[in-house]
Amino acid sequence: MPVPYRPEVPGRLMGRTALVTGGSRGIGRAIALALAAEGAAVAVNYRTGREQADEVVAEIAAAGGRAIALGADVADFGAVEAMVGRVVDELGGLQIVVNNAGISRDGLLYAMQPEDWLDVMRVNFGGTFNCTKAAMAHLMAQRDGVIVNVSSVMGERGWTGQCNYAASKAAINAFTRCSAIELARFGIRVNAVLPGFAPTDLVAGVMSREDGKGVRRQIPMRAFAQLDEVARAVTFLAGPDAAYMTGSLMTVDGGAAAALGVGASL
């Protein structure tokens, strides 16, 4: 777990405000807690998990931090615009945007329905586009901002049953590079973290087979990523130690992307 935030020990993100989409559970929850541990005020976005988001906010507040829960569907640009406005109004600013919200609709391409493709693209890539677009004017005006997109190694490699999900993450990777180029002159950095297999609901089906042994054998470090390990990578990119990094895709996958795999559980 991330080191608890202690107000008497200033963190690297003191005075900064972050918006974390999909922050009520899984990797998003871990990111929200990690950013708060470094002193950031955090807006925890959710779509349906209000109770879980409130629990994250309560945990941050109990440790001495500031946080609010904001419901919004990231696939709806109008809802995202309103959410960004609330972050600025209620937390006093916005410097860090973490585009983490995502869904999966796994299945073989032959059986995949058009809505399986479109829903994944609307949320995963559409949400990243919408949140970036909605926050741009504010970040550009202050000439200060960091955007961290949570992508996946699936966007760089292939895997059985992942055509729609992998394509959405590949789009995020390309979008990260292009938006980094456009926004650099405004003092805004854009990077992406590419997790490998981590214990989240999105990959529960794959990891549940034989306790994930088939997948784990294809990872050089022979272990799945822990949520806080992904969160620490996001926190690094959001902070001053990554001040000269933009347009980068950082893998957190135990070496999986470096290996030649078969794209399916063995």
**pLDDT, tens only, 203-253:** 555 555 556 666 767 777 667 778 999 999 999 999 999 999 999 999 998
Residue with tokens 């590079």: 177
Give the Å distances, CA to CA, from 252 to 8, 154, 165, 225, 226.
Answer: 31, 12, 18, 7, 10
pLDDT for position 232: 96
Q: What pLDDT score was predicted for residue 158?
A: 80
- pLDDT averaged per 10 residues in sequence order, the chain, 266 residues: 44 96 97 98 97 98 98 98 98 98 94 95 98 98 98 87 94 98 98 86 56 69 82 97 97 78 50
Task: Look up the pTM and report it.
Answer: 0.89
Cα→Cα distances 111→115, 154, 188, Å: 12, 20, 41
- Give catalytic residue positions: 165
| Cα–Cα distance measured from residue 219 to residue 253, given in angstroms and rounded to the nearest whole number | 8
Residue 2: the pLDDT is 43
Do the Cβ atoms of 147 and 172 come closer than 8 Å? no
Q: Which CATH number fits domain 17-196+227-251: 1.10.340.30, 3.40.980.10, 3.40.50.720, 3.40.1640.10?
A: 3.40.50.720
pLDDT at residue number 202: 56
Domain-wise residue ranges, the chain: 17-196+227-251
